Amino acid sequence: MKDLRIGEGYDVHRLAAGRPLILGGVAIPYQRGLLGHSDADVLLHAICDALLGAAALGDIGAHFPDDSAVYRNISSLKLLNQVSLILENSGWRPINVDSTLVMEEPRVADHIFNMRKNIARELKLEVTSVSVKATTSEGLGFVGLKEGIAARAVALIESA
Protein backbone atom coordinates (compact mmCIF):
# COMPACT_ATOMS: atom_id res chain seq x y z
CA MET A 1 0.00 0.00 0.00
CA LYS A 2 1.26 3.46 -0.90
CA ASP A 3 1.98 6.01 1.80
CA LEU A 4 -0.12 9.19 1.52
CA ARG A 5 0.80 12.55 3.02
CA ILE A 6 -0.77 16.00 3.06
CA GLY A 7 1.19 19.26 3.15
CA GLU A 8 0.16 22.87 3.67
CA GLY A 9 1.83 25.98 2.28
CA TYR A 10 1.42 29.72 2.80
CA ASP A 11 3.21 32.68 1.30
CA VAL A 12 2.81 36.43 1.09
CA HIS A 13 4.57 39.14 -0.89
CA ARG A 14 4.30 42.92 -0.91
CA LEU A 15 3.02 44.70 -4.01
CA ALA A 16 5.48 47.22 -5.51
CA ALA A 17 5.70 49.50 -8.53
CA GLY A 18 8.09 48.55 -11.30
CA ARG A 19 7.62 44.80 -10.96
CA PRO A 20 5.61 42.43 -13.17
CA LEU A 21 2.73 40.60 -11.50
CA ILE A 22 3.32 36.87 -12.01
CA LEU A 23 0.82 34.42 -10.50
CA GLY A 24 0.87 30.72 -11.29
CA GLY A 25 3.48 31.43 -13.94
CA VAL A 26 1.12 33.80 -15.76
CA ALA A 27 1.88 37.50 -16.34
CA ILE A 28 -1.17 39.43 -15.13
CA PRO A 29 -1.65 42.98 -16.43
CA TYR A 30 -1.52 45.31 -13.41
CA GLN A 31 0.27 48.50 -12.39
CA ARG A 32 2.24 46.74 -9.62
CA GLY A 33 3.90 43.40 -9.13
CA LEU A 34 5.11 41.33 -6.21
CA LEU A 35 8.39 42.17 -4.51
CA GLY A 36 10.80 39.33 -3.89
CA HIS A 37 14.16 37.78 -4.71
CA SER A 38 12.70 35.57 -7.44
CA ASP A 39 9.72 36.55 -9.57
CA ALA A 40 7.83 36.50 -6.22
CA ASP A 41 5.06 34.23 -7.54
CA VAL A 42 3.24 33.87 -4.24
CA LEU A 43 0.97 31.11 -5.55
CA LEU A 44 3.79 28.85 -6.72
CA HIS A 45 5.76 29.50 -3.53
CA ALA A 46 2.83 28.32 -1.41
CA ILE A 47 2.47 25.22 -3.60
CA CYS A 48 6.20 24.46 -3.33
CA ASP A 49 5.99 24.68 0.46
CA ALA A 50 2.92 22.43 0.55
CA LEU A 51 4.69 19.77 -1.51
CA LEU A 52 7.96 19.96 0.40
CA GLY A 53 6.12 19.96 3.72
CA ALA A 54 4.11 16.89 2.79
CA ALA A 55 7.35 15.00 2.17
CA ALA A 56 9.00 16.48 5.30
CA LEU A 57 11.74 17.96 3.10
CA GLY A 58 11.91 21.46 4.55
CA ASP A 59 10.62 24.56 2.85
CA ILE A 60 11.27 26.66 -0.23
CA GLY A 61 13.78 28.88 1.59
CA ALA A 62 15.90 25.89 2.58
CA HIS A 63 16.17 24.69 -1.02
CA PHE A 64 16.27 28.06 -2.81
CA PRO A 65 17.77 30.65 -0.40
CA ASP A 66 16.92 34.28 -1.07
CA ASP A 67 20.53 35.33 -0.55
CA SER A 68 21.71 33.25 -3.54
CA ALA A 69 22.35 35.05 -6.82
CA VAL A 70 21.37 31.83 -8.63
CA TYR A 71 17.71 32.43 -7.76
CA ARG A 72 17.62 36.20 -8.36
CA ASN A 73 14.58 36.95 -10.60
CA ILE A 74 14.20 33.23 -11.42
CA SER A 75 10.83 32.04 -12.67
CA SER A 76 9.02 30.25 -9.89
CA LEU A 77 7.90 27.72 -12.51
CA LYS A 78 11.55 26.59 -12.52
CA LEU A 79 11.46 26.33 -8.73
CA LEU A 80 8.26 24.27 -8.90
CA ASN A 81 9.92 22.00 -11.47
CA GLN A 82 12.88 21.56 -9.12
CA VAL A 83 10.53 20.75 -6.24
CA SER A 84 8.92 18.11 -8.44
CA LEU A 85 12.37 16.57 -9.05
CA ILE A 86 13.25 16.75 -5.33
CA LEU A 87 10.05 14.86 -4.52
CA GLU A 88 10.70 12.28 -7.24
CA ASN A 89 14.28 11.72 -6.06
CA SER A 90 12.96 11.24 -2.51
CA GLY A 91 10.43 8.62 -3.57
CA TRP A 92 7.30 10.83 -3.72
CA ARG A 93 4.92 12.04 -6.38
CA PRO A 94 2.14 14.62 -6.22
CA ILE A 95 -1.48 13.48 -6.51
CA ASN A 96 -3.26 16.82 -6.37
CA VAL A 97 -2.93 20.46 -5.35
CA ASP A 98 -5.61 22.84 -4.09
CA SER A 99 -4.65 26.50 -3.77
CA THR A 100 -6.19 29.89 -3.04
CA LEU A 101 -4.99 33.37 -3.92
CA VAL A 102 -6.06 36.06 -1.45
CA MET A 103 -6.08 39.44 -3.17
CA GLU A 104 -8.29 42.46 -3.69
CA GLU A 105 -7.22 43.21 -7.24
CA PRO A 106 -6.74 42.65 -10.08
CA ARG A 107 -9.38 40.09 -10.95
CA VAL A 108 -7.71 36.89 -12.12
CA ALA A 109 -10.65 34.67 -13.12
CA ASP A 110 -9.67 34.82 -16.81
CA HIS A 111 -6.14 33.60 -15.98
CA ILE A 112 -6.88 30.73 -13.61
CA PHE A 113 -7.04 27.98 -16.23
CA ASN A 114 -3.61 28.96 -17.57
CA MET A 115 -2.24 28.93 -14.02
CA ARG A 116 -3.65 25.43 -13.53
CA LYS A 117 -2.09 24.27 -16.81
CA ASN A 118 1.33 25.65 -15.81
CA ILE A 119 1.24 23.97 -12.41
CA ALA A 120 0.00 20.67 -13.84
CA ARG A 121 2.77 20.67 -16.47
CA GLU A 122 5.55 21.20 -13.93
CA LEU A 123 4.17 18.55 -11.56
CA LYS A 124 3.35 16.04 -14.34
CA LEU A 125 -0.32 16.05 -13.35
CA GLU A 126 -3.57 16.31 -15.26
CA VAL A 127 -5.03 19.81 -15.09
CA THR A 128 -8.04 18.25 -13.33
CA SER A 129 -5.74 17.48 -10.39
CA VAL A 130 -4.85 21.15 -9.87
CA SER A 131 -7.21 23.68 -8.32
CA VAL A 132 -6.60 27.43 -8.18
CA LYS A 133 -9.15 29.72 -6.59
CA ALA A 134 -9.13 33.43 -5.78
CA THR A 135 -10.86 35.36 -3.05
CA THR A 136 -10.65 38.78 -1.40
CA SER A 137 -10.16 39.64 2.25
CA GLU A 138 -13.20 41.93 2.20
CA GLY A 139 -10.99 45.00 2.64
CA LEU A 140 -9.34 43.72 5.82
CA GLY A 141 -5.63 43.61 6.65
CA PHE A 142 -2.66 44.15 4.35
CA VAL A 143 -4.45 42.33 1.50
CA GLY A 144 -7.55 44.47 1.96
CA LEU A 145 -5.39 47.59 1.89
CA LYS A 146 -3.91 46.34 -1.41
CA GLU A 147 -0.41 46.22 0.09
CA GLY A 148 0.22 42.60 -0.84
CA ILE A 149 -1.08 39.25 -2.00
CA ALA A 150 -1.21 36.00 -0.03
CA ALA A 151 -1.63 32.41 -1.14
CA ARG A 152 -2.47 29.14 0.59
CA ALA A 153 -2.04 25.65 -0.78
CA VAL A 154 -2.54 22.05 0.24
CA ALA A 155 -1.04 19.11 -1.59
CA LEU A 156 -1.54 15.38 -1.43
CA ILE A 157 1.45 13.21 -2.31
CA GLU A 158 2.03 9.47 -2.43
CA SER A 159 5.07 7.25 -2.20
CA ALA A 160 6.31 6.35 -5.66
The enclosing domain of 52 has a CATH number of 3.30.1330.50
The residues that bridge with 131 in the sheet, in sequence order, are: 98
Write down the pLDDT at residue 47. 98
* pLDDT tops 80 at residue 19: yes
The mean pLDDT of 76-86, rounded to a whole number, is 98
Q: What is the CA radius of gyration of the chain?
A: 15
The residue range of the domain holding 39 is 4-159
Q: What is the pLDDT of residues 106-139, one digit of tens each?
A: 999 999 999 999 999 999 999 999 999 999 999 9
Q: Tens of pLDDT along 23-67?
A: 999 999 999 999 999 999 999 999 999 999 999 999 999 999 999
pLDDT given at position 1 = 77
CA dist 35 and 20 (Å) reads: 9
Among positive and negative, which fits the CA dihedral 102, 103, 107, 108?
negative
- Phi and psi of 15, rounded to 5°? -80, 140
Q: Which residue has the higher pLDDT, 1 or 144?
A: 144
Whether 98 has a pLDDT exceeding 90, the answer reads yes
Q: How far apart are CA 60 and CA 37, in angstroms?
A: 12
Q: Quote the number of domains for the chain.
A: 1
Q: Quick check: 8 pLDDT over 80?
A: yes
Please state the φ and ψ torsions of residue 49, each to the nearest 5 degrees.
-65, -40
